[in-house]
Structure 1
């Protein structure tokens, strides 16, 4: 079974590899919506896959490194596309959260990406 927990974080960024004429090459901010999915068996003892409080306890310290930050200054996010943010998060969460199966990031109401590792 797969369960998920949602989070949000605010960050500023610019995409330096785009031409100056592209809107995203300029400094801008996003309210990102993050959905972290965990897959595993339903534990008979509790009746759940994982305690959502445990998911939050493992995700929130990682988000603290990018929430209300200028992403271009975060090591590993020098080109902070939504795709690269998803990979960056996966690399940090996959060692902290057993059963991590998917990360979804939305940069606004209509665009985002889903990353399943690898």
Structure 2
């Protein structure tokens, strides 16, 4: 069975490796929408795959580091494309979330990335 938990955070960034004149090279911000998917068997007791509170306990401290931050200043996110942010988040979450299947990170309602690990 697959379960998920959704989060939002607001952050600014700029993309230093895109060509001069590209609009994303300038400082700008997004309200990111993150969905974390966990896969596993439904445990007989208490009848769930994982407690949603446990997912939040792993994810919220990481997201608090990003919320209202300049992502370029976060170690490991010097080039904070959606793909790189998703990979970074995965690395932060994977040890604390057994059964982590994928994460979906949206920069806008119409643009985002789905990451399933390497």
TM-score calculated relative to the size of structure 2:
0.98
Look up the match of 2:40.
40
How far the C-alpha of 1:98 sits from its partner, in A, is 0.9
Question: Any idea what the Cα deviations from partners look like across 1:53-109, whole Å, max 9, x if unmatched?
Answer: 110011001111111100000000000000000000001100111111101000001
Q: Find the counterpart in structure 2 of residue 81 from structure 1.
A: 81
Which consecutive segments of 4 or more residues in structure 1 shift more than 3 A? none
- Match of residue 113 from structure 1: 113
Question: In structure 1, how many angstroms separate the alpha carbons of the residues matched to 2:95 and 2:25?
Answer: 32
C-alpha deviations, 1:14-60, integer Å up to 9, x for none?
00001121110000000000000000000111111011111001100
Secondary structure (helix, strand or coil) at the match of 2:38 reads strand
* SS state at 1:35 partner: strand
Which 5+ residue runs of structure 2 have no aligned equivalent? none
Q: Secondary structure at the match of 1:64?
A: helix
* Match runs of 1:1-118 below 5 Å: 1-118=1-118
Equivalents in 1 of 2:102, 2:113: separation in Å? 10
Aligned residues: 118
2:109 and 2:58 map into 1 onto residues whose CA distance is: 26
Q: State the TM-score, normalizing by the size of structure 1.
A: 0.98
Take 1:15 and 1:2, find their aligned partners in 2: how far apart are those partners?
A: 34
Alpha-carbon RMSD: 0.6
